[in-house]
Structure 1
Amino acid sequence: MALNAKNLLTVLGSVLAFCATSVTTTALAADKKATISQAFQSMLYLPLYVAIDGGFFTKEGLDVTKQTAGSPSAALSAVLSGSADFSLHGPEWTAVAAEKGADVDVIANVVNGAAVWIATAPDVKFTSIKDVKGEVVVSGQMPTTSTSLFFRALKENGMSPGDVKLIQVPLGSEIGPLVAGQSKIAVMYEPGLDQAVAKGMKVVLSFPKLYGEYAFSSITAKRSIDPDTAERFVKGLQSALLYMQTNPAETAAIARKEFPTLDAPVVDAAVKRMLADGVYPKNVDITPKALTVAMDTQIALGNLKQQPKYDTFVARSYIQPALAAK
């Protein structure tokens, strides 16, 4: 169909109006904002930092602000109060809140291994967890997953916490008694573990390898979260996790940026170990097995009454689109 001058102007006007609307819509999408409250600034949460610093949230049109609450309960409270859209901590906190009637779910995986290790002095003979019986062991102050897992391992091997001489210290300071010789065995997180290795200690037990899939830390959101915001967030996190698996050097560089006060070789070793041991997951999925194993620890400790119902507790409506995205 031929266009006369009048029709051409009309068409051009419509096109320009459409373009203006598209630009405005795109700009609004790119400026969509979200806040996440993390329990701590932690090496375990590196997938979140990669998603932010690597621009993966930005690619999904999401501007994410990170806040540090100081504890899992405070991070979760930020979501419940509406001051944050998402929180990052162990899913057991979400399960306890949901058990009490809170309208919260977990929507993505961040840490999928029981990220705890046992380190010893180089002269310690260690063939199994049974070798700690009667020994002085330093571990984090309860409640913490590292000490909880240690207790679980003792129980599974016919022992109890009373079978060891336990020194509980503030999280992150386990290396002090170990290096000072007050204890020759320590239950540790990263990066303290590789700080100890750098001082000559040896790693004798990997809980990630012992327990396999373990929903250690995850993203929590209210069920009333804006679905579009949640979907963008989970897709951005998925892209970051894929990137970490194929770009370990670049991932370590982001970790060094996030933890500038740590020695670079320690950061690099910690990232390498957590990738190799499966602590950083390959995707955002939370499997029934991973959730069950993690919640069993909390049930055994009396923190949780029963397993949460997987189909209602894990919001796969956000996970599945992220897994399907190319």
Structure 2
Amino acid sequence: MGIKHRAALLLAGVLAVTSVLAGCGSKGTGETTKVRIGEVTRSIFYAPEYVAINKGFFKTEGLDVELTTTPGGDKTMATLLSGGIDVALVGAETSIYVSQQGSDDPVIDFMQLTQTDGTFLVARKPLQGTFDWSVLKGTTFLGQRKGGMPQMAGEFTLKKHGINPQKDLNLIQNVEFANIPTAFASGTGEYVQLFEPQATMFEKQGKGYVIASFGVESGKLPYTVFMAKKSFIDKNASSTQKFANAVQKAQNWVQASSVEEITDAIASFFPDTDKDIIKGVVKRYKEQGSFATDGIIDDAEWNNLQDVMQAAGELQKRVEPKQLVDNRFAEKAKQSVK
């Protein structure tokens, strides 16, 4: 999906979505402030978010969090721009896409949740010996949706290892995100780029085997962040700080806790997923450092994100961090939350 097409879809989505919920600042009982979060998908990758909810960290900060899942970056951003949610949890690239369209009320990234890509390279057969990316050349590769961060991080990794995705692979990108695991299981592709828990589930079922991590290969970047419109942050600075504090508490807890403890804390968000699967996914993400230890988006991460976007042809021009990143809340949370 090109930049112009993406912009048209995003603007169409904004017109289609109507704001039907009360905004942040509307008080419930006592001193609690309601904050509506829209997450781009329900994923174990977002474990610290669920920890913040189930461990009561938002509640302790005086926030009544309402969490909804708004599948897809375009839909999540459209809902945020239209006022249907207060805070979006989505890839930082979406704030850049909005900026590229021109906006009087830019979307600001204020708290990072994950700091690597969350996908893995899955093969039909177990790895024999040391893996070399060159074995992918000439194979059929089932990739992610064009223009999204998984696909961009995937292609960035492939190019880093001397593979031109469009020329060296039979690259398939016309399968809907939700249908990619099913397509691979039914015989499409020799290799596939998969999120968890599908990768771990495939291993347990003997349908596929993780042989490399795109998260490790593509480096640190603000992969998933909490963001809000600048006007919202300006009007609700106190609530934004409380939000950042709650997330930092969760990040601290995740870093200090065992895989088993984290699994128990988030299992209620995945009632249809076997606990052993959740445990395996948490272990994999924790070991490769996918969960951010704080919400600060540093310049190196921001620039790496833009390198990935630029390599994919999805960046019109580079954006200075200060234009779309506000680290004040994350920095204060890191200093004050213990």
TM over 0.5: yes
Other-structure match for 1:105: 108
Question: Residues 262-290 of structure 1: CA distance to partner in whole angstroms, max 9, x if unpaired?
Answer: 22211110011111111111111111111
Task: Please give the root-mean-square deviation of Cα atoms over the aligned residues, in Å.
Answer: 2.2
- Alpha-carbon distance in structure 2 between the residues aligned to 1:146 and 1:81: 26
Match among 139, 154, 160 for residue 158 of structure 2:
154
* Alpha-carbon shift at residue 215 of structure 1 (Å): 1.1
Q: Could you say what secondary structure the match of 1:303 adopts?
A: coil
- Alpha-carbon distance in structure 2 between the residues aligned to 1:212 and 1:302: 19
Match among 164, 168, 171 for residue 166 of structure 1:
171
Does the 8 A contact of 2:153 with 2:218 survive in 1?
no
* Alpha-carbon shift at residue 244 of structure 1 (Å): 1.0
Other-structure match for 1:14: none
- Alpha-carbon distance in structure 1 between the residues aligned to 2:80 and 2:126: 47
Q: Structure 1: which 5+ residue stretches go unaligned?
A: 1-25
* Alpha-carbon shift at residue 227 of structure 1 (Å): 0.3
Other-structure match for 2:4: none
- What aligned pairs does 1:226-237 form with structure 2 within 5 A after superposition? 226-237=236-247
- Alpha-carbon distance in structure 2 between the residues aligned to 1:212 and 1:228: 33
Equivalent position amino acid for 2:192 in 1:
A
Matched, 1:118 2:129: no
- What aligned pairs does 1:52-63 form with structure 2 within 5 A after superposition? 52-63=53-64
Matched, 1:298 2:301: no
- What aligned pairs does 1:278-289 form with structure 2 within 5 A after superposition? 278-289=289-300
Question: Residues 156-189 of structure 1: CA distance to partner in whole angstroms, max 9, x if unpaired?
Answer: 2333223112333322443334444543322111
Pick the structure with greater CA Rg: 1
* Alpha-carbon shift at residue 28 of structure 1 (Å): 6.8
Which range moves more in the overlay, 189-198 or 172-181? 172-181
Indicate how the Cα distance of structure 1 residues 123 and 282 shifts in structure 2: closer, same or farther if over 3 A, else same: closer
* Alpha-carbon shift at residue 304 of structure 1 (Å): 1.8
- What aligned pairs does 1:223-302 form with structure 2 within 5 A after superposition? 223-225=230-232, 226-247=236-257, 248-302=259-313
Query: Where in structure 1 do 4 or more consecutive aligned residues deviate above 3 Å?
Result: 26-30, 123-126, 172-184
Other-structure match for 1:88: 89
Aligned residues: 301
- Alpha-carbon distance in structure 2 between the residues aligned to 1:171 and 1:267: 20
Question: Residues 22-46 of structure 1: CA distance to partner in whole angstroms, max 9, x if unpaired?
Answer: xxxx997741111111122222222
Which range moves more in the overlay, 309-318 or 156-165? 156-165
Other-structure match for 2:18: none
Other-structure match for 1:316: 327
- Alpha-carbon distance in structure 2 between the residues aligned to 1:28 and 1:324: 30
Matched, 1:135 2:139: yes
- Alpha-carbon distance in structure 1 between the residues aligned to 2:218 and 2:183: 27
Other-structure match for 1:144: 148
- Percent of aligned pairs with the same amino acid: 23
Q: Could you say what secondary structure the match of 1:283 adopts?
A: coil
Other-structure match for 2:22: none
Equivalent position amino acid for 1:164 in 2:
L
Other-structure match for 1:9: none
- Alpha-carbon distance in structure 2 between the residues aligned to 1:82 and 1:94: 15
